[in-house]
Amino acid sequence: MTRELTEITVVGGDKTGLIARVTSLLFERGINIEDLDQAVREGVFRMTTRVDAAEMETSRGELRRALAELGRELDVDIQVRFPSDRDARRVALLVTKETHAPEALLEAEASGELADDGAEAEIPVVIGNRGDLRSLAERYDKPFYDVGDGKGNTDEDRLLDLLAEYEIDLIALARYMRILSPEVVFRYEGRIVNVHPSLLPAFPGAEAYRQAKDAGVRVAGVTAHYVTTDLDQGPVIAQRAFDVPPGADVDEIKRRGQPLEAEVLLDAVRLHLADAIAVHRGTVHVREDVAVDARLGLSRAAVDANPDEPVDGEPLTRSRPSLTDD
């Protein structure tokens, strides 16, 4: 099995010596650093450290207290996530107006199909930047919070408070129509899954289906990806494709795409919850030691229908009928 690492995330203002202070604290407690990554976006500093805490010379509570005290001293937020803190992983649904994607995840949880490969998961909260889907959350007996200002702008301080209150492990953007700032993304990087209505990197940003119509594409699709601070450029988890009939308008393209949006988002959430995928150098890879039937792209039937010849430098292995054959 893959060795489970503890994740420590530092978010705040960029300060000289900050990295050294954190890593020294870990070293003094016998904690081995396996991976360290840092970035600065829009003046916000983020450091994510994955450590082996199996033989640390302190308790979990004392490590949390020491890091919290250091965070107050440096005026940064430090979060610690031990891999075995809870049996069930907790997923927050972020929503706006469209029901198809969030309803698919809520229905999957209700039927016991949200997690795969024996993993346990729950959706403890639904959060919207508008109040439109309150009734949907209530139908599934979920608390709903509107953190918008009436115009769709998000109170991210309130959002972060809710994510912390509900001890969220994964954020699913179920057609959440707002860009998350680095303040949110940095705290949950690698734990935010979005669904976008195009085959990224084609047609990023708003109105993707309209972009597909205007470009005259014959094949369109949807993408589930991890969210980064670069809009619609995060690592791709899975994609689905569909035909665009000649003359199809935007509404028809959307009707074909929305069921696949729900499907691919649910699949991506399942893969993440099962720890079946990992990001390496900006690309999602399926872990070899996790037995999960991961569908990342086309269906098997579509793959089998793809031609495999002719190929440059290779002779044809079967004859092809001429245009005049009966």
Residue 263: strand, helix, or coil: helix
Q: What burial class does residue 132 get, using C-beta atoms within 10 Å of its C-beta: 0-12 exposed, 13-18 middle, 19+ buried?
A: middle
* In contact, 105 and 174? CB cutoff 8 Å: yes
**Which active-site residues does the annotation give?**
232
Strand partners, 195: 224
Measured at the CA of 102, the angle between CA 85 and CA 108, to 5 degrees, comes to: 65
In whole angstroms, give the CA distance from residue 175 to residue 192.
Answer: 13
Q: Taking Cα atoms as reference points, which of 198, 190, 228 lies closest to residue 215?
A: 198
Please give the C-alpha separations between residue 204 and each of 194, 219, 270, in angstroms, as whole numbers.
12, 16, 24
Q: How many helices (H) and strands (E) does the chain have?
A: 9, 13
